[in-house]
């Protein structure tokens, strides 16, 4: 399988999962896919077994792993060893991400505002301010969320979802 074909298969898989979770939780598929892309190198490099969203260790998830990662501190990249949640699968990781965004305390104000306005740009910007230490994170997530390949994968996943 070529690298491009593999990437398209990974994108199609997360799109199918994101569309289902969007219907179940309201968490926008575009945002989920964009953060998946940023945090896991388009699904190629999850943290641990299957943490595709860079979710840190927390009380919701019984398993964790220690990983050397790059954080931005005072505007400069710094290598740190941090504990991250560890999942058994991409669907498990995506479910926890959707729950974190829609029910997690750090994102409640942003989520409630999104429910009123349906302004995806504002949601991504507000979530990114707490989710990541890199100041350019929101811009990158916003760019990816509107890419043609992301929108196409979501459209195809919705068509399959409706047909089944």
Q: Please give the torsion angle defined by the CA atoms of residues 73, 76, 81 and 86, in that order, rounded to the nearest 10 degrees.
A: 80
Contact indicator for 15, 147 with CB cutoff of 8 Å: no
Among the listed ranges 28-32, 93-97, 159-163, which one has the minimum average pLDDT value?
159-163
pLDDT for the residue numbered 65: 86
C-alpha span between 159 and 72 (Å, rounded): 40
Mean pLDDT on 58-76? 82
DSSP states along 24-59: HH---HHHHHHHHHHHHTTTT--BTTTB-S-PBP-T
pLDDT in tens, 99-158: 999 999 999 999 999 999 999 999 999 999 999 988 899 999 999 999 999 999 999 999
* Residue 5, both tokens: 């074909």
User: What CATH architecture applies to the domain 3-45+88-163?
Assistant: Orthogonal Bundle (1.10)
């Amino acid at each position: 399988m070529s690298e491009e074909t593999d990437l398209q298969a990974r994108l199609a898989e997360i799109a199918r999962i994101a569309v289902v979770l969007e219907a179940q939780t309201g968490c926008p598929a575009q945002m989920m896919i964009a953060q998946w892309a940023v945090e896991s190198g388009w699904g190629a490099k999850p943290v641990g077994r299957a943490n595709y969203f860079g979710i840190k260790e927390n009380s919701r998830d019984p398993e964790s792993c220690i990983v050397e990662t790059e954080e931005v501190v005072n505007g400069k990249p710094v290598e740190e060893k941090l504990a991250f949640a560890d999942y058994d699968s991409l669907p498990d990781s995506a479910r926890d991400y959707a729950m974190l965004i829609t029910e997690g305390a750090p994102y409640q104000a942003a989520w409630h505002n999104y429910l009123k306005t349906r302004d995806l740009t504002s949601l991504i910007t507000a979530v990114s301010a707490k989710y990541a230490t890199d100041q350019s994170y929101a811009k990158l997530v916003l760019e990816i969320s509107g890419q043609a390949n992301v929108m196409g994968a979501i459209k195809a996943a919705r068509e399959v979802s409706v047909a089944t």
